Each structure stands twice: as C-alpha cells, then as structure tokens.
Amino acid sequence: HFPLIVQNIHRYTLPFAFLLLVFLALDAWHALWFETAGGGEELGLSVGTVVLTLNVVLLSGYTFGCHSVRHLVGGGLDVLSRRPIRKAAYACASCFNRRHMLWAWMSLLWVAFSDIYVRLCAMGVWTNVRFF
C-alpha cells in the first residue's frame, strides 16, 4: 500500500545504487591516468584522484551496510551456517551496518566536497595538485 511502500523504496533502488558505484569507481580509475606531452597516458596520483577514490569508498561503505544488502545476501535462509559464503557476506554487510549512520554522514559530506572540488578545479579556481 502507498504510504508503506515508500519506506522500502531503497530495496527497489539498490541495483541502481550498485550501478552508480560502478560509474564512480570508473571515474576514480580514469582519474589515475594523466595525459603525457606525447599524447599518451601515464599513471599518476593527484588530490582529485584521492578525492574521487574516497568518494567511492565512503559511498560503498554506506551502500554495503544497507539492510537491503543484508537481506539480499542472507534473507530467505533459515540456517545461515549451511551456506558459508552467504554467511561471510552477511557478516561483512553486518559489519558495515554497525556504523551505517557514520557511513551515511561521512559519504554525504564527502559527496558534497567532491562536487565542490571538481567544480572549482574545472572553473580554474583551484588547481588539482599532482603528487606523481
């Protein structure tokens, strides 16, 4: 029914969250590669690389700690101990879930900072410092 379905909407949007994590991880991967003077690419590390990588890590911690993930990997089983892989996945999701609110706040603040950092670098206000 309508009002209660809204409380469980995250169960239906979880695949989209996983897809978003893949795209963000690809962005972080591409941020590792810098264009050379000859037109090629070389591996490097910059502040932007760290910012985008931490963005993926924090959002992943929040996503994998979701109750829906716990239900996905361990739900529907009467005895979890008979499925060692699913038991380990459930334990992992439970570990993330213990600090779910911390993951939520850290990822929320870091997403905002990441957006501001990328925007200001694109505008030329900040310079993306490269370490190597």
**What span, in angstroms and rounded, lies between the C-alpha atoms of 75 and 11?**
13
**What span, in angstroms and rounded, lies between the C-alpha atoms of 49 and 30?**
9
Residue 112: give the domain boundaries. Answer: 2-123
**0.85 exceeded by pTM:** yes
- Contact between 125 and 118 under an 8 Å Cβ cutoff? The reply is no
Q: What total of structural domains would you count in the chain? A: 1
Higher pLDDT, 9 or 109: 109
Residue 42 included in any domain: yes
pLDDT at 2 over 80: no
End-to-end CA distance of the chain: 56
**What span, in angstroms and rounded, lies between the C-alpha atoms of 106 and 100?**
10
Residue 58 included in any domain: yes
pLDDT (tens digit per residue) in 8-56: 888 889 999 999 999 999 999 999 999 999 999 999 999 999 999 999 9
Residue 130 included in any domain: no
Residue 129 included in any domain: no
